Amino acid sequence: MSGVSSFSGVSGPSGPDCRICLLKNGDAPAVAALETVCFSDPWGEPEFASLEESRLDKGFAAWVGETLAGYAILRTVAGEGELLRIAVRPDVRGRGIARKLMEQVERAAREAGADSLFLEVRAGNKPALALYRASGFEENGRRKDYYRFPTEDAVLMERSLSPLEDGDGVSI
């Protein structure tokens, strides 16, 4: 898997393009810094530092110029994919970056042989819930008081994935 998936319009019609590519170990400091901006209970740099060597996990970065605009982490095990993390910088939200990251995660999960994709999200995270529903996810359960800082339920969501067809490979 090589190459880069790009799309335009992230910063407006005259702004720079956004490219989606695989996370590299050297991206860990930037990812961890964005993690602290986006999550009240953030993962640390070590959690992101070894993604490149992982057999189960794959990370994707969305870059606007030289700036990390967002990232997503996928884990695939035994025919199931799980979206572990997805985040977009607050100042570039609403410009399609999360949607493009979700599309890349779904393609990668399908390529890895997953027939379903799971995630959990804070019950109060309305923008994320809207993104996931628009991406074909449906609620299939809750975990009471799962999240900390603040305490909040987790909404469990699932999406079935169709098998890969000829020409449907991951673009990065």
132 is catalytic: yes
Q: Which of 82, 120, 147, 152 is catalytic?
A: 120
Question: Is residue 142 pLDDT above 80, yes or no?
Answer: yes
Q: Which of 82, 103, 106, 132 is catalytic?
A: 132
Domain locations in the chain as residue ranges: 5-160
pTM of the model: 0.84
| DSSP-assigned letter for residue 44 | P
CA distance linking residue 13 with residue 59, whole number of Å = 28
CATH architecture of the domain formed by 5-160: 3-Layer(aba) Sandwich (3.40)
Question: Is residue 147 pLDDT above 50, yes or no?
Answer: yes
Over range 19-37, report the average pLDDT: 94
CA distance linking residue 24 with residue 19, whole number of Å = 14
**So what's the pLDDT on residue 169?**
52
Cis peptide before 150 (omega within 30 of 0): yes
**So what's the pLDDT on residue 103?**
94
